Structure 1
Amino acid sequence: MLVYIVRRFAGMMVVMLLVAMVVFVIARVVPGDPAAVMLGSSATPEDIAALRGRLGLDEPLLTQFLLYLGQIIRFDLGESIFLNRPVAQALAERSELTALLTMMSVGIAMLIGLPIGILSAAKRGGLIDQTAVGLAMLAASIPSFWIGLTLIKYLAVDHAWFPVAGYGPPEADLMERMRHLVLPAIALGIPNSALILRFTRTSMLDVMSNDYVRTARAKGLPPLVVVLKHALRNAMIPILTVIGLTTAVMIAGAIVTETVFGLPGVGNLIVSAVLRRDYPVIQGALLVVSAIYVLINLTVDLLYAVVDPRVRY
């Protein structure tokens, strides 16, 4: 196991290096001069050139990239051009909101997708199965921002059951902040629950056709025991995989949701950085998100051995 983890971490380092290269190139090829954006339309060419020199933007691209890699090796994500503070600090200040939103969204997606997927597989070909598949296709085709705007209209504006937007006042406690995240979590969780539902149904159907499941039924075990103990446990590996991928996708999908609900999270920070051409924030945020994505994949791989003792690394 230890050798496997070491090899995976070595592979992660290679992946992160490639991500750093891609992020650096993308940030530089986007049209627009960050120095000109910062100084505004009234800036003179001399002012823009002076600011570019101070920011190191007048250096050759290779030199900029080597300096950037040196910062990453020192775990230094740089300093935000507009916020005038370290990128790591800016991300840490907004990470609580995005982490809570992601966990709540994943919880909602699992609460919807897992039970309905299991029930759909148990009732294969019936009305419940066909309805579940149809609802999954419908949920997958509806964008999260449309669901968010609909929830705001009916549950926040018309009935005032939930806040319209924001994350609460600075003195708000955890429960109040979570109340502000209920609608965004629903808007983000419903579309992603469709993928969990479909994978759960497919994986359960594959397992329920095996001999040991038929043997359990022949022994007269209750249907609930057969489905949950014998079938679901052996179908968990594909389900764990899709849950892990869904979690990573939700972190990226939170950008749109945070914008719709006016949430000051990491996604909102990334959008502002893109509009302002704040290179350090863009690069640092994408690196952190990529690292989280890779760590989630590693965690899911390690959970395979917990779910299925036959898995060995």
Structure 2
Amino acid sequence: MLDFLLRRLVAALLTLALATAVVFLVLEVLPGDPALVMLGTEARPDTLAALHAKLGFDRPVYERYIRWIASLLTFDLGNSYAYGTPVSKLILDRIVVTLPLGALALSFALCVAIPLGVFAASRRGQASDWLVMGFGQLGISIPNFWFGILLALIFAVGLKLFPAGGFPGWGADAWGSLHALILPALSLSLPEIAILSRVTRSSMLDTLREDYVRTARAKGVAERDVLMRHALRNALVPIVTIAGLMAGFLLAGAIIVETVFYLPGVGKLVFDAINNRDLIVIKNVVILLTAVVLAVNLIVDVIYVILDPRPKVSV
């Protein structure tokens, strides 16, 4: 098992290194000059050149990349071009919104999708099964930002049960902050619920064909116990794998959802940084999110080995 985890860790580190190169090169070829955005189009050439030198844009590309990697290794993320604030502080101030939002969305997805998938598998071919699969197809098709706007119109503007946007802050109002995350989390979780319910159904159907399930039924075990204690436990491996992959989709989807609900999270920070050409914020946030996704996937690998010990030898 240790050898398996070491290989996964090395693969994650290599992926992170490759991601730094891709992110840096992509941002280098994008049009636009951050210094020109900061100073305005009427800036004098000597002033523009001085700001280029201050920001390090006058150095060769490879030197800027090496300096950036060195700063990442020392946890010095530099200062934002637009705000003049340390990037690490900006991220810490915003991540306390994004991480709870992602955790809440994932909780909604797991709590809704797994029962739906088990229910559909237990009634294969019946009207309820087709209904769940139809919901899954619809959930995949609907953009989560449109669903968020719909939720806000119904539950915030119409019924006035939830705020339509904004975030009071955990220190000022913990319950109000959690209340403000419910609608965004629901809109963020819709496609994940749709995908995970279909995966759960498929995995359950495969497990229900196994001999030990037929043996349990032949012994007179109640159908509920057959589904929950025998089938679901052994169907969890692909479910856990997909749930781990969802972390990346939730973090990526948070950029749009946080903008719709005007939440001061990491997604909104990236959105504003793109508009301001704040490259140092974009680079560091993207790499941070990549590291979080890789860490989650590494945890999923550990859970995978615990649920199914065969990969210890075969992978």
Equivalent residue runs for 1:19-38 within 5 Å: 19-38=19-38
What's the counterpart of residue 10 of structure 2? 10
Equivalent residue runs for 1:39-78 within 5 Å: 39-78=39-78
SS at match of 1:220: coil
* One-letter amino acid of the counterpart of residue 288, structure 1: L
Whole-Å separation in 2 of the counterparts to 1:170 and 1:188: 21
Could you say if the C-alpha distance between residues 246 and 169 of structure 1 is closer, same or farther in structure 2, counting changes exceeding 3 Å?
closer
**Could you tell me how far 1:171 is from its partner in structure 2?**
5.0
Task: Select between 228-237 and 2-11 the one with higher mean Cα deviation.
Answer: 2-11
Whole-Å separation in 2 of the counterparts to 1:209 and 1:237: 16
Equivalent residue runs for 1:113-124 within 5 Å: 113-124=113-124
What's the counterpart of residue 218 of structure 2? 218
Task: Select between 136-145 and 75-84 the one with higher mean Cα deviation.
Answer: 75-84
- Residues 101-138 of structure 1, C-alpha deviation per residue, up to 9 Å, x if partnerless? 10111111112211010010011011110100001101
What's the counterpart of residue 194 of structure 1? 194
**Could you tell me how far 1:164 is from its partner in structure 2?**
1.2
Whole-Å separation in 1 of the counterparts to 2:93 and 2:169: 15
Equivalent residue runs for 1:233-252 within 5 Å: 233-252=233-252
- Residues 269-292 of structure 1, C-alpha deviation per residue, up to 9 Å, x if partnerless? 001111111111011001001001
Whole-Å separation in 2 of the counterparts to 1:244 and 1:140: 18
Equivalent residue runs for 1:157-172 within 5 Å: 157-168=157-168, 172=172
What's the counterpart of residue 149 of structure 2? 149
CA contact (8 A) 2:95 2:266 kept: yes
What's the counterpart of residue 301 of structure 1? 301
Whole-Å separation in 2 of the counterparts to 1:47 and 1:63: 23
CA RMSD of aligned residues (A): 1.4
Gaps of 5+ in 1: none
SS at match of 1:181: helix
Whole-Å separation in 1 of the counterparts to 2:152 and 2:29: 37
**Could you tell me how far 1:41 is from its partner in structure 2?**
2.2
Whole-Å separation in 2 of the counterparts to 1:155 and 1:59: 53
CA contact (8 A) 2:8 2:298 kept: yes
- Residues 243-269 of structure 1, C-alpha deviation per residue, up to 9 Å, x if partnerless? 111122101110000000000000000
What's the counterpart of residue 264 of structure 2? 264
* One-letter amino acid of the counterpart of residue 25, structure 1: L
- Structure 2 length-normalised TM: 0.96
Could you say if the C-alpha distance between residues 87 and 133 of structure 1 is closer, same or farther in structure 2, counting changes exceeding 3 Å?
same
* One-letter amino acid of the counterpart of residue 96, structure 1: V
SS at match of 2:312: coil
CA contact (8 A) 2:78 2:280 kept: yes
What's the counterpart of residue 185 of structure 1? 185
CA contact (8 A) 2:4 2:312 kept: no
Could you say if the C-alpha distance between residues 255 and 312 of structure 1 is closer, same or farther in structure 2, counting changes exceeding 3 Å?
same
Gaps of 5+ in 2: none
CA contact (8 A) 2:101 2:185 kept: yes
**Could you tell me how far 1:32 is from its partner in structure 2?**
0.3
Could you say if the C-alpha distance between residues 169 and 311 of structure 1 is closer, same or farther in structure 2, counting changes exceeding 3 Å?
closer
What's the counterpart of residue 135 of structure 1? 135
**Could you tell me how far 1:153 is from its partner in structure 2?**
1.1
- Residues 129-181 of structure 1, C-alpha deviation per residue, up to 9 Å, x if partnerless? 01000011011100011111111111111221111110026753221100001
CA contact (8 A) 2:77 2:87 kept: yes
Whole-Å separation in 1 of the counterparts to 2:138 and 2:64: 47
What's the counterpart of residue 292 of structure 2? 292
**Could you tell me how far 1:217 is from its partner in structure 2?**
0.6
Moved over 6 A (4+): none
- Residues 290-310 of structure 1, C-alpha deviation per residue, up to 9 Å, x if partnerless? 001111111111002333355
SS at match of 1:312: helix
Whole-Å separation in 1 of the counterparts to 2:11 and 2:148: 38
Whole-Å separation in 2 of the counterparts to 1:310 and 1:56: 51
- Structure 1 length-normalised TM: 0.96
Residues 1:100 and 2:86 aligned together: no
